[in-house]
């Protein structure tokens, strides 16, 4: 990976971290406990609870993504950054731009 590729990747990761953080804080707002005393009817309350578990699942995966992105940012200056953790070959820069949190090359990820 060239110096320029590393720099633009680092920029990309910063942007992804910011957008993921703002998605997380939005999800945290909507996953507040459903108040039993709210004026929704029973059916809408069931809907609210179903929606909430979908939102919570998505919140969990966003948090996971955020921690992977932060890890990628920490590792970006290391010599072995961008190497597949399974086969140790270089992960394609295009793949890293799209999914900077990936630690497997496209071949290993497809397995």
Which residues are registered as beta bridge partners of 83? 90
Least distance (Å) between residue 107 CB and Zn ion = 5
Q: Residue 72 class from Cβ within 10 Å (0-12 exposed, 13-18 middle, 19+ buried)?
A: buried
Short-list 80, 98, 97, CA closest to 89: 80
Binding site for Zn ion (CB under 5 A): 84, 86-87, 105, 108
Residue 74 or residue 86: which is nearer to Zn ion going by CB?
Answer: 86
How many Å apart are CA 2 and CA 57, to the nearest integer?
37
Residue 16 or residue 84: which is nearer to Zn ion going by CB?
Answer: 84
Answer whether 85's CB lies under 8 Å from 19's CB: no
Least distance (Å) between residue 79 CB and Zn ion = 17
Least distance (Å) between residue 37 CB and Zn ion = 54
Residue 59 or residue 105: which is nearer to Zn ion going by CB?
Answer: 105
């Amino acid at each position: 990976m060239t110096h320029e590729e590393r720099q633009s990747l680092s920029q990309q990761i910063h942007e992804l971290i910011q957008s993921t953080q703002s998605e997380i804080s939005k999800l945290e707002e909507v996953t507040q406990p459903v108040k039993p005393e709210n004026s929704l009817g029973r059916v809408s309350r069931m809907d609210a609870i179903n929606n909430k578990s979908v939102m919570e699942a998505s919140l969990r995966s966003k948090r996971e993504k955020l921690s992977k992105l932060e890890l990628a940012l920490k590792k970006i200056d290391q010599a072995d950054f961008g190497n597949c953790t399974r086969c140790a070959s270089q992960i394609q820069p295009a793949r890293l731009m799209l999914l900077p949190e990936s630690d497997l090359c496209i071949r290993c990820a497809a397995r």
